[in-house]
A and B are shown apart, each in its own frame.
Chain A
Amino acid sequence: MNQRAPIEEQIDLPFVESLRISFQSLKIRFGRSIITTAGITLGIAFLVSVWTNNEIELALQESGRSSEITGLDEAAEQGISTKDIWLIIMSLIVCVVGIANSMLMAVTERFREIGTMKCLGALDGFVVRLFLLESGFQGFAGALIGALIGLLGAVVLGLKNYGLDLFFYFPLLPAQPENGPFQLGVLLLILLGCILGMILAIIGSSFPAWRAAKLPPAEAMRTEV
């Protein structure tokens, strides 16, 4: 034992080690990981279904079909109604709060684990990276599934309202109608939903993880949940 030597500097872990540790952690806590991921899925599903539904309505209004079918002429002239805007904003808030909350809970449960890892020689940066990786995977998987579920929901609703016409005018790609608001298109919406879900998951988890990593291990380990 060469313990008289001056204390050296802790090394950084190779990326693959972090990757391996984070995967292992997700795998073994599978049940809990699924619940956290489900939180992300729900938020994004809600968001994407509301947005897609809105896009579908706009597209059909544009094509003149919507008023024919529903008989609401004013709606066709107004484009997006106040009610729709409200719904869109609400869905965004529900999504942000829901995801942030489920990530925060998942990290708070693990303060003790964070403290313990620091006792064993983990650097603060390693702890943050671990949570970044884990929440990145969860965010991506959860958001993708959520976006697909949301799309499915909006399509089912659209079929109910407009029948098979829906597919004829389906707003898949971005479009700029002459007299109406710009339409993102469903493909972009799904992409946006996935990115948003992933970013929210990463922020929602890394920020509390960073705060826990900054704590002296004694304090992190005291936290009871």
Chain B
Amino acid sequence: MSDIVVKTEDVVKEYRMGSNVLRALDGINIEIQRGEYISLMGPSGSGKSTLFNMIGALDRPTEGQVYIDGQNMSNLSQRQIAAFRCHRVGYIFQSYNLLNVRTAHGNVTLPMIFAGIPDKQRNEKAEKLLDMVGLGDRMYHLPDELSGGQRQRVAIARALANDPSIVLADEPTANLDTITGREIIDLIKQLNTQQGVTVISATHDLKMLDVSDRIVDIRDGLVERIRNRDEIEIEVGEVGGHE
């Protein structure tokens, strides 16, 4: 039996605005294997972020089910959902979403504080993670004092704090220049290959193509097609070079 980490079953998400109903997801069925690097691609407004939120338990689907590690997410209690977000998933956002009141180090320790990890242990772990993402010398700076690329590195370190099995990234390179974006992609890919973390990333960034195992094309809230690595290799040649 294959090892499925994420499975969605006819996931529908509707947003109500007054009397209007917008169907952002229109019945999504996907299965994601443990250790895969998946890119969700599609035009703006196609529903990538909405799907990202469903998989990461950041919002509830209107209909359908999301299973993570075989667990039906809609059956979880509030406490279980909080623990799920804390331990199983690391989130990376386009706009970094660091807490501005905490230093880089303080941002990385926060999920470990929520996990109840003792002081000394979490400080060491934060240092180790920030070293790993190349911010060993900027640990005690506030996010305001860091560049975009550096902030995203902090976000990656924070996402890894509690050794999640899934890293969810919503357009992690959209605010970065090509070279910095490339570095961030390489860093995420490295987690994927070296630590076996499952990566699910929404993106417009064609640089993501050549690190992805599969690409899920989303259009109008539906899965349009799923491409495998060997199917995309040809296309990658055209976009591989730097700008």
Contact = CB atoms under 8 A, between A and B. Distances in A.
Interface of A: 1, 3-4, 6-11, 13, 17, 21, 24-25, 28-29, 112-113, 115-124, 126, 216-219, 221
Given A4-B70, A120-B85, 17 more contacts: A1-B165, A3-B165, A7-B84, A8-B83, A11-B115, A11-B116, A21-B113, A24-B101, A24-B106, A28-B102, A112-B97, A113-B100, A116-B98, A119-B91, A120-B110, A120-B111, A123-B78
B133 interface: no
B182 interface: no
Contact of B114 (A6, A115, A121, A219): A121
Interface residues of B, number: 42
A122 B86 CA distance: 8
Contacts of A117: 99, 110
B58 A216 contact: yes
Contact of B113 (A1, A17, A28, A217): A17
A4 B82 CA distance: 17
Contacts of B71: 6-7
A95 B81 CA distance: 40
Given A13-B113, A25-B101, A216 B79 contact: no
B22 interface: no
B102 to A, nearest CB: 7
Contacts of B59: 216-219
A65 B43 CA distance: 81
B178 to A, nearest CB: 27
